[in-house]
Amino acid sequence: MIMSVKTITNPSLVVGLYSLKLEISFKHCFLSDINLELVTSYNTIKRDPDEEVFSELLDSSKERRSKEHYYQVRSNKDSNDPAKIAARFIYLNRYSFKGIYRVNTNGNPAQTFSGRNYSESDIASRLKQCSRLLAGTSIYAMDFSFIEPRQDDFVYFDPPYHKAGEKFYTRLPFDENEQTRLRDFATELNSEGVKIMISNSNTPFIRNLYNNFNINSIKVKYSMPEHNKMSNEVIITNYV
């Protein structure tokens, strides 16, 4: 389906660039997430993928095969410099087990070390590709309920998945109450003529929660080698 809309909004940036690859023609694109470090990273990559982020990432990756270095980077959260915040965030996600973003109850990163290795050229290529995709977008740190799309705008939600990511992404869990809050907000947007797409786990709870929407089952295999099983997911929409 090729869709023409005025504005595309993605209030959940963890896999947010998926929204930029849809076959949708749009004039404006707004991206948001509740994770400030993630938003800072995307804004820095958008602004300068070559000098700031990449040089900082290389500096932090000189001993990237070292478990001790990984945990040293993970525990160091002193910098307020956007480039260093972005470098640390990307480094921890690239070298963490399964590439899964996790935090503890204090809101600090809790990813474990994977021992995998990446080439600088591969990371540089990905940063440049990401920067090109982000050109012309506006990126904010805020809760999904603060977005204000209008009729015929398109909104893509990619929340922490039910039973899979609810304890990982933020200090406060995205539990079934939060899943219900998202559904209620999507229902409100639907009544206002906003086009909606939501990704989530294929569970009975999610299927029942969105029983008034269109639900399509999909199987997904992620690019990280540790994800060696197909993931059962759903794509939820209010359009056909």
Decide whether 3-34+142-163+172-237 matches 39-134 in CATH topology: no
- pTM confidence score: 0.84
Sheet (strand 154-157) strand order: 137-141, 28-33, 7-10, 154-157, 195-201, 231-237, 214-220
Q: What is the pLDDT of residue 212?
A: 97
> Contact 32/11 with Cβ under 8 angstroms?
yes
Which pair of tokens denotes residue 78?
Answer: 């002193």
Per-residue pLDDT tens over the stretch 147-166? 999 998 999 999 989 987 66
User: pLDDT-based confidence at 235, cuts 50/70/90?
Assistant: very high
User: pLDDT-based confidence at 24, cuts 50/70/90?
Assistant: low
Q: Which residue in the block uniquely carries the two structure tokens 């990307």?
A: 90
Q: Is CATH 3.40.50.150 the right assignment for the domain spanning 3-34+142-163+172-237?
A: yes
- Given a cut of 50, is residue 18 above it in pLDDT? no
**Residue (of 161, 181, 49) closest to 100 by Cα position:** 161
Q: Is CATH 1.10.1020.10 the right assignment for the domain spanning 39-134?
A: yes
The amino acid at residue 61 is: S
Q: Where are the domains of the chain?
A: 3-34+142-163+172-237, 39-134
